Structure 1
């Protein structure tokens, strides 16, 4: 009889432990999803400003239609993306297209002096700063989830419950462009 009681207690303790692992993983996944919701708000604001920026730039950059088309297409893909991983990939492409636009804008001093353009640039810069902050929080939540999934004994149960490591929100090509030293030619 004592052996049966000990066996039942051991099973109950194991079940409670597994339930706590599951609940912790769910809590971390929800935290990551909420962090991405904060990113989504900033992305929506950025998406709303891009058409205004493209329209302001169009008059000055008649010969750069390809760059504007890339930005518009990337924005469209980013707005229609579903799921966190697809949105991250689409936003990386949009950020790359926007970086290309910023490079082209440098060749148009009259455009940089336009007050409407300057106002839009300031708004986009503010949104980019807010995005950087919420992206850091999202990546922190993602690291926390990934760590919880990969540590022992969670790794045993995480797979059984369908938890997988999640992607970070990296800048991709934009990071490479930002860290690359500019080419300077005095000829």
Structure 2
């Protein structure tokens, strides 16, 4: 009789250990998924900050360089694409296009020395540079969170628990050719 009770008690303990491990594993995957979502929202937050700064920068430059209409239209189009992007890949592509157009704007600024000394312009450029750094950090943090999450849901035995509820997340990747400096033509 004692052996039977011990065997049953042992089985119950093993089952409880397995159940608690499954609950812990599931909760870990949920926490990592939420971390990925939070990091992605930080990218969106910084991209929105940049979108909000650009109209002020453009208006400042317009006062000095009214004849450069093409660049202002290109900036408006690039901003619209970024604002409408839904996935990390769409945002990365639109972000690269906007960065390219902004670099063209900075070349225009070189032709207007008085603009470079304007206090509003300098402040906006400093804020934009700070925002670019924040975007880079947010992308890095997001990609690290995605790596940790994707790695976990593919590991044994986590993938058994993950099933179809936890799917692989996309990395925030630059579009092909982004490693090359943009070509600026006037």
- After TM superposition, the score normalised by the length of structure 1 is 0.73
Deviations 1:144-168 (A, max 9, x none): 112212222222332x142222222
User: Where do residues 1-187 of structure 1 align in structure 2 (5 Å cutoff)?
Assistant: 10-62=14-66, 64-82=68-86, 86-158=90-162, 160-172=163-175, 175-178=178-181
* Alignment length (residue pairs): 180
From the superposition, tell whether residues 93 and 137 of structure 1 become closer, same or farther in structure 2 (CA, over 3 Å): same
CA distance in 1, matches of 2:88, 2:178: 20
* Secondary structure, aligned partner of 1:170: coil
**Superimposed CA distance per residue, residues 71-110 of structure 1 (whole angstroms, 9 cap, x where no aligned partner):** 2122123224446555444434433433343345445545
Structure 1 residues 29, 6: CA separation in 2 closer, same or farther (over 3 Å shift)? same
Name the larger-Rg structure. 2
* In 1: Cα distance, 2:93 partner to 2:153 partner: 23
Question: In the alignment, is the contact (CA less than 8 A) between 1:92 and 1:173 conserved in 2?
Answer: no
Q: Distance in 1 between matches of 2:80 and 2:109?
A: 21
TM-score, normalised on structure 2?
A: 0.74
Aligned alpha-carbon RMSD (Å): 3.3
Unaligned runs of 5+ in 2: none
- Alpha-carbon distance change, 87 to 172 in structure 1, aligned in 2, over 3 angstroms: closer
Q: Give the Cα–Cα distance (whole angstroms) in 2 for the partners of residues 26 and 76 of structure 1.
A: 33
